[in-house]
Structure 1
Amino acid sequence: MRLDQNEADRAFRHEVRRFCEQNVPDALRERVRSGMRATPDGFRQWQNILFRQGWGAPTWPREHGGTGWSPVQIHIFEQETAAADAPPQFHQGLELIGPIIFTYGTAEQKARYLPRILSGEDWWCQGYSEPQAGSDLAGLRTRAVRDGDHYVVTGQKLWTSYAHAANRMFCLVRTSDETRKQDGISLLLMDMDAPGITVRPFHTLDEQSHVTEVFLDAVRVPASQLLGEEGRGWSYGKVLLDRERALTATLGVRLARQLEQVKELARKTPDAGSSLYQNPGFRSKLAQLEIEVQAIEQMGLRMLADNVAGVDTGPRGSMLKLRWSELLQRATELWVETLGYDGTRFASAGGAPGTVPMEQSGPMTAYLHSRVTSIYGGSNEIQRNIIARRALGL
């Protein structure tokens, strides 16, 4: 698929570019440009800005409040927002549970949840992994027992991203014991202020608090917040994980933007009487990365077109997720290498906000956070198993 082949697409690109120039907040732009992730408040702010423009859900159909954009328009939108150093939209509500709600949810659930996802009022977290059920998600133990008009939920979730900032959680729970462990799992929509929920954030390698553990102590969840059919949660959960992996279809453009920033920095970095950008070894590594990023961007564009057309993409989401995680780690490593000794100031300052300029601490933060991308959403080892089984029949 080729971009900008007609006047309408070129006009759309100009519209998005002008919108970004006028509407991306400077503080948010500075943070993203440095390599730092947006804060929850920053993500909410950007989502609400897009919502007021009518662009809150680029991949959703119009009947559910989305844009109804073509794959080309979605890709142009991602290119221009990345070039403007706007953050990606936070995906838990928008790209994971939102489409499951409008596909399998009741009319009441759609009316209650979808508008608040679009506006950014609701922040969703994903209650999947547990201490004994990570990549082997079917081994989850959190149990929901039906009690009249409620489910009583008891158990623990782990590595739950931003649960401390969320007011909603979509949660996989075991509602019955079956011979096949994938059966008997259901998907509940939970309010995070319900009695019995305790959230404990903890620091990760990048010295940030992105993830949490969530304790569920006899939490009463209305039966009306069961999504779809009881016992079908594993099927819905697989769809969610496929969508999460397929999100990398648009992330190639952000990898390309990071490499542009690496080039800008290299041109300013002295090296043997010239700049680092003139160093043949550095140029070789950069060129190889650029080639591979272009390839994954094109693969993502093809997959995006198939997704919008309703074509089964098979294991390509796993392929993209695996390849993107490896390229992201290499790109952020090169970014830190370009900083040289300045990149080590992150560690010496303990990553404390305000003690090191963001343009120096941001790349190291991005590099450290990138280490998790080959683990979350199913580790890269799991992705290889999926590819072997679904693509090669092994």
Structure 2
Amino acid sequence: MHVLRDADLAAFREEARTWLEEYVPDEPRPTTHGPEVRDFDVAWQRRQYEGGWAGIDWEREYGGRGLSLRQQVIWYEELVRAGAPRDSIFDVAFGHAGPTLIMRGSEEQKQFHLPRILRGEAPWCQGFSEPDAGSDLAGLRTRGVVDGDEIVITGQKTWTSFAQYCDYGELLVRTDPDASRHRGLTWLIVDMRLPGIDIRPITSIDGHPHNCEVFYDEVRVPLANVVDRVNNGWSVAMSTLSAERGPGFLNHRLEQIRLVDQLIAHAKETGQLNDEALADRLAAARANAAALRSMAYFQIGSAKKGEQPGPETTAIRTFAVQAQQEIAWLALDILGPRAMEWVPWTRHWLAEFGATIAGGTIDIQRNIIGERVLGIPR
């Protein structure tokens, strides 16, 4: 148990802030979609690791610092304050795969994979969604057939973020087709360079291939790569979704406040705050961003206590994507035609169109809220 004084936390925050002021990349993350994207993210992750800022609350035996959750949260707060790169091909490794392995992986799996994630050597992607099983994850059809000491994978995954850059994937497959929907699934680690894997990038509306289709044609994966055990993948997947509420994605939530503050500063400078309607929208967006931050802290606390995701997770996510989209629209209304020249905001606006689809469509999420939170009949 970590018992930390406020003075200790303040000193830690100052140390993090000082380091970031010197080492945050001066150049922006590449806006192209070639190998330079991976090179940039790998270099930035490696720089954090060498500076002692990778895996702050991960165990020392796996390359982390073994510090407290509060210190990990402070680090993400300072990352956002410093304007450090937000998106990274390591998001799944830190937000999903690493925490899942910590909770459910074998000692051999943890010893091999966790240090590689921290050192910036092995980005991960997630192979959960399928063309007919996105919002309905339990309906997935990709097959995994046990053959000796291997599982033979056949099927298709889609919306696999940054698969073209990743070394490993967390893959959920159906290994018992006769079992009920939530049973007979297996969570396993897949080397994305194995024979039989075909990765096809999907160009998004903003011109970038953030996601991919991935086809598996009798791909042979060692049974040793199964996390937990065969046919217990739904339980492991729930651990993955629980990990998603942890600090790994906190910077994405906190970033919303920084974005709104940028818009407020610009509106002040240009005199647009004199527009009462626009000022009201900015005030509402700032309040929503602050509420989202509080919700993120609540989720982190619940996840750290080992609580499984509940319907409140769905409610928070639904609120989050709506808040993000409103901020993106605000930016275009405030900047006007200049938004076409201000590339980060334009691309941010375009990218937010997918926010209400990723991780389950917002319509499905609202149905869940209605049924499980409000008690409305199906």
- What TM-score, normalized to structure 1? 0.85
- Residues 1:231 and 1:244: Cα distance change in structure 2 (over 3 Å): same
How far apart, in 2, do the equivalents of 1:370 and 1:136 lie?
Answer: 22
2:286 aligns with: 290
Unaligned segments of structure 2, at least 5 residues: none
Q: Which amino acid aligns with 1:369?
A: A
% same residue = 36
Judge conservation of contact 1:201–1:210 (CA < 8 Å) in 2.
Answer: yes
Judge conservation of contact 2:261–2:286 (CA < 8 Å) in 1.
Answer: no
Deviation (angstroms), 1:45: 2.4
Deviation (angstroms), 1:14: 1.1
Deviation (angstroms), 1:93: 0.9
Q: Across the two proteins, how many residue pairs are aligned to each other? A: 366
1:260 aligns with: 261
Structure 1 stretch 78-87 or stretch 377-386: which is displaced more?
Answer: 377-386
Deviation (angstroms), 1:262: 1.2
| Structure 2 counterpart of 1:280, from 276, 283, 287 | 276
How far apart, in 2, do the equivalents of 1:68 and 1:380 lie?
Answer: 37
Per-residue CA deviation, residues 98-149 of structure 1 (Å, 9 max, x unaligned), is 1221222222211211111111110111111111111111111111112222
Structure 1 stretch 109-118 or stretch 97-106: which is displaced more?
Answer: 97-106
* 2:364 maps to 1:382: yes
Higher relative contact order (CA 8 A, sep 6+): 1
Q: Which amino acid aligns with 1:307?
A: A
* 2:368 maps to 1:367: no
How far apart, in 1, do the equivalents of 2:62 and 2:364 lie?
Answer: 33
- What TM-score, normalized to structure 2? 0.89
Q: Which amino acid aligns with 2:299?
A: M
Per-residue CA deviation, residues 49-68 of structure 1 (Å, 9 max, x unaligned), is 22112221244344543344
- Residues 1:39 and 1:389: Cα distance change in structure 2 (over 3 Å): farther
How far apart, in 2, do the equivalents of 1:242 and 1:305 lie?
Answer: 11
- Residues 1:142 and 1:191: Cα distance change in structure 2 (over 3 Å): same
Alignment of 1:1-394 (within 5 A): 6-28=6-28, 39-88=37-86, 90-245=90-245, 251-269=252-270, 275-311=271-307, 314-343=310-339, 345=340, 360-388=342-370, 390-391=372-373
- Residues 1:226 and 1:309: Cα distance change in structure 2 (over 3 Å): closer
Judge conservation of contact 2:245–2:299 (CA < 8 Å) in 1.
Answer: no
Deviation (angstroms), 1:251: 3.5
Deviation (angstroms), 1:334: 0.9
1:353 aligns with: none
Judge conservation of contact 1:153–1:218 (CA < 8 Å) in 2.
Answer: yes
CA RMSD in angstroms comes to: 2.4
User: SS at 1:129's partner residue?
Assistant: coil
How far apart, in 2, do the equivalents of 1:213 and 1:195 lie?
Answer: 16
User: SS at 1:376's partner residue?
Assistant: coil
- Residues 1:6 and 1:107: Cα distance change in structure 2 (over 3 Å): closer
